[in-house]
Amino acid sequence: MSVQSLPATQKLPSYQLVRSKKRRSIAIKVVHGQVQVRAPQRVSDAEINRLVQAKATWIAEHVERQQQQLQGLAPRLWQSGERLRWLGQPLQLKVSQAGRKTCERYGRELFVTVTARSNPQQEPRRTVIAWYQRQALQWLDDFFAHWPAEHGLQPQSWSVGDFTSKWGHCTRQHQLRFSWRLWMAPAWVVTNVVIHELCHLQEFNHSKAFWQLVAKYSPSYQEAEQWLRTYGSTLMHNHYLDYSDAD
């Protein structure tokens, strides 16, 4: 896999190019206000540039929207008083020192203790992420315990990781993987993403048949997709992890 950054011109947006032998098509994403292009090794730079130029208006709209969202948020320092979210509900972060690391939620407050030798930013962050991963995994366990077997969509396993460019992933081995950041979104959005990945067990694509299957089990999927397009870029950003106008 190769990575390169191309300079902007008057017509061609600046973007980061990632080439991979495994890719079969070109994909354009706007992440944190920056443009990323993923392409197969065999595709020429000229072909990639033609596609980027054709999508220039779409790219400009997404870049501007995401950059405006980020400008309205204060960078996260992982200090007491900052706000996180659990299933869309605000949680106020409380950080203190103790003999061992802990992270517990009481109502709308998340209490984190770190040791005196801990890095004042990195240790609270790591402790909070571990808490989210545990809570999200429990949420998934409960969800799949009540997911009807007659639907025929049963994963082999599920896990929660620290992804920064995708909410979830379904492997060909029927394993589902999700980003812990997803659980800062409202519960109905989380549910839609999980169902989205479940439907890939039957349709390993984004064909018309796939979206029909998603609509069958998640009728509000379009609203959830729109919510993620509107607020998702801030939840995926390591320095912000919040959205400003969704209360």
Say whether both 45 and 164 belong to one domain. no
Q: What is the pLDDT of residues 193-210, one digit of tens each?
A: 999 999 999 999 899 999
Statement: residue 5 has pLDDT above 50:
no
Tens digits of per-residue pLDDT, 43-53?
888 888 888 88
Last residue within a domain, chosen from 71, 92, 109: 71
Q: How many domains does the chain have?
A: 2
Q: Does any domain span residue 243?
A: no
CB-based contact 183:136 (threshold 8 Å): yes
Which tokens in the block code for residue 61?
């709209």
- Any domain includes 241: no
Do 10 and 90 belong to one domain? no
The domain containing residue 11 runs over which residues? 2-71
Q: Average model confidence (pLDDT) for the chain?
A: 86
Report if residue 244 sits inside a domain. Answer: no
121 part of a folded domain:
yes
- Is 242 contained in some domain? no
Q: Is residue 17 part of a domain?
A: yes
% the chain with pLDDT above 70: 91
pTM of the predicted protein model = 0.76
